[in-house]
Structure 1
Amino acid sequence: MLRVSPRRSNQEERLIGTRQPHGFNMSMKKESPWDVELHLAAARGDAKRLRILLDSGRVHVDCKDKDGTTPLILAAAGGHIDAVTELLHQGADSNAKRLTGTTALFFAAQGGYMDIASLLLEHGAIVDSCSVDGGTPLFVACQYGHLDVVEGLIERGASPNAHMKDGATALFIAAQNGHLRILEVLLERGAKTDAARTDGATPLWIASQMGHDHIVRRLLKAGAKVDATRHDGATPLFKAAHKGHTAVIGELLKYRPSLGVLPNGESALHAAALTGHMTVARQLVGAGADPLLVNQEGITPLQLAVRHSQTQVANYLRDKVRVRTASC
């Protein structure tokens, strides 16, 4: 899945699982020429050649390269159902794993090949078999937006509340990638709305950070906590303000999020002032945010805007303070 390889310096942008693209390279340094030929035939989807090689008795159906890749995994990853059928008929292990822990079902789900996924499941593939970082076929189907695969896997027993080692659930992955219909299916099947990653980030938090206002709207409707706070003290509103996601902020403000100083010592208006997002500043002040609210360092949004040369925001906040002062 993604690691499929996550870029954890910014955890929000990492993918899931232990991803290997459909065209991953085989490493055959220790394999015999027959092994190599069998792998190549599987990668090409050449079912006839697979049959000839296997019937010769010179090669094992589950021969692996140094990464643990079997012919069945290659055929499934390439979407070659005839080759998958032949290999399963010849006794291929549907649950054979690469060193990353990924199986043929994982790659079928990644590619959106529900016909192959169904065939693998009929031959004993474990629906929630997970990669080394906890990603399952359901996770990677959610990541890549394969709705039919998501529905098919859940119908066959995949858990909508399974989670990776970092705590991310399938709902989190769907929210991160903006897949609304998949998110709705997961919610309908009992996915926990506020299930958080180990750093405290919830599906609503990640959707806000990514700017997916349609996902934010649906999660809030489903009862997601508007002020769910990541461990660093940032809320969905704070992150959306920092990123300048005005549509997301519009959705969040309907549920009365905190406009005050947050556990991270800042307010959403401080984030807008720092980054110079003028429209966001207007939205927040219009909702009641205070231009003179002091953060943990004793600095107001107005002072922060001035300090960082965000002239437009500074002038706007200065005018708001002037009007308020005049009316007192």
Structure 2
Amino acid sequence: RNGAQIDATDSDGNTPLILAAGSPRDDAWITVRSLLEAGAAVNHTNNKGETAQIVAARQGDVHRLRQLLRAERVDRGARDQDGKDAVMHAVLAGHAPAVAYLLDQNFPWDSVDNAGDQAIDFAYAHMDKACCRAFWERGRFLNHVNSRHASPESPLTLCLGWKDLELMRLLVKEGTDPNIRHRAGLSAVHAAVARGEVAGFETLASIGPDWNARDDLDRTPLEMALQEDNADRLIRSLCAAGADPNLPMAHGDYPLVFSARCLRESVSEVHSWRPVILALISAGAAANSTDADGNTALHYCGKLDSGKSELWGRLRQAGASTNIRNHRGRKPYLHFSSLCKNGWVGFGFLLCSFILGIPPGLVLIANGVGARVLDHAQIGNFWLKRKVERRYRVQNEGE
């Protein structure tokens, strides 16, 4: 019980109390109590600036912390040489019960260390749900974004990552902004789209986010969905929840005509635009929206070499007009395929090189030339057009 001995330090500046606080033994709290009863200094720091309570917090032993807090004039705000306090060390070690206890004992919860980080930032970085909940359940950091992190998160995006949609609903009820932005203006809806979390849309719908929110690049969630692998499914879910398929995209195009142009220009099957177009039509996208060249989706679909019939019929059924002229003065029409215009002519000449093949060869050449003439006259495959529109019961515009 000699004061000089009870607070003696080793080469690292640790007192017996600090060593006991960091001991791996489960019964070390008894030693802590005995040392405190013997008069050990509770706020003494070692060479790293750590007090016994910081070391105990890192160890995660609530019993030791409880004994330390019974001492008089405990410095709850003590920090080590890096500016980290007891709560930060408990979070870094992943000891959620210790974090909760320290917060309940009025330890600082919003301190900033020398690097500019707060305790919650460490919980975010480690995706530590238990530590995050220790703060959130006490009304702390409900709208915090770890903006200094390479991939910032918000409470809602963390819930998406954990697939804990019930926690997301609870957070919004407690005060989390449903439209909180976590990075580059991205909302939770943007994040759900990027992660393909269709299941999260139902929960998001219940918390009332802005389905048409734009990020810093002026993109809506629906615009982001266009580039995803399961774009058609995302689009259907987004529009069912409240996204508007008729809002212009960041570059000024509208989703439907943009998708139709991509389908026309696509040379890869990696991303299929056809189901995207059908999903947009089903969601009520304006069939006559135009791009910078004045083209509608019907202009692009009419030029497809194959598979154009269904899209043409669905677009016409949705109200797409064949009377809209683009900036070149051309109306949309069903073009003949390249095979009809070029293949028939080439094969016809090949047949004509044989005497017996001249009659059918001339027929093929005539058909190919006729297809070119009809396309040049902006009439196109009128027979196919009539057949398709009859099948889809399209009202004749009188053209």
Please say whether Structure 1 and Structure 2 have the same fold, judged by a TM-score greater than 0.5.
yes
Letter in 2 for 1:117: V
TM-score, normalization by structure 1:
0.62
Of the three residues 172, 184, 188, the one matched with 1:187 is 172
TM-score, normalization by structure 2:
0.53
Aligned pairs for 1:65-84 (under 5 A) are 65=48, 72-84=53-65
Letter in 2 for 1:174: C
Letter in 2 for 1:140: A
Instruction: Give the whole-Å Cα distance in 2 for the aligned partners of 1:322 and 1:92.
Output: 77
Q: Quote the offset at 1:229 in angstroms.
A: 0.9
Residue pair 1:50, 1:83 contacting (<8 A) in 2 also: no
Q: Which residue of 2 is the match for residue 15 of structure 1?
A: none
SS for the counterpart of 1:242 is coil
Do structure 1's residue 35 and structure 2's residue 14 form an aligned pair? Answer: yes
Instruction: Give the whole-Å Cα distance in 2 for the aligned partners of 1:56 and 1:180.
Output: 50
Instruction: Give the whole-Å Cα distance in 2 for the aligned partners of 1:296 and 1:43.
Output: 68
Q: Which residue of 1 is the match for residue 227 of structure 2?
A: 242
Of the three residues 286, 297, 307, the one matched with 2:279 is 286
Of the three residues 244, 247, 257, the one matched with 2:244 is 257
Q: Quote the offset at 1:74 in angstroms.
A: 4.7
Of the three residues 226, 231, 246, the one matched with 2:211 is 226
Do structure 1's residue 140 and structure 2's residue 123 form an aligned pair? Answer: yes
CA 1:48–1:177: 2 relative to 1, 3 Å: closer
Q: Which residue of 2 is the match for residue 123 of structure 1?
A: 105
Q: Which residue of 2 is the match for residue 310 of structure 1?
A: none
Any unmatched runs of 5+ in structure 2? Answer: 1-9, 316-333, 335-384, 390-399
Of the three residues 176, 189, 202, the one matched with 1:204 is 189
String of CA shifts for 1:58-82, please: whole Å, max 9, x gaps.
Answer: 99644363xx665544543443333
String of CA shifts for 1:282-316, please: whole Å, max 9, x gaps.
Answer: 14423326899776699999999xxxxxxxxx888
CA 1:60–1:221: 2 relative to 1, 3 Å: closer
Residue pair 1:143, 1:174 contacting (<8 A) in 2 also: no
Residue pair 2:13, 2:47 contacting (<8 A) in 1 also: no
Aligned pairs for 1:89-108 (under 5 A) are 89=70, 93-97=75-79, 102-108=84-90
Instruction: Give the whole-Å Cα distance in 2 for the aligned partners of 1:234 and 1:138.
Output: 27
Q: Quote the offset at 1:156 in angstroms.
A: 3.4
Letter in 1 for 2:130: H
Q: How many residues align?
A: 285
Q: Quote the offset at 1:200 in angstroms.
A: 1.6
Task: Tell which has more relative contact order, 1 or 2 (C-alpha 8 A, sep 6+).
Answer: 1
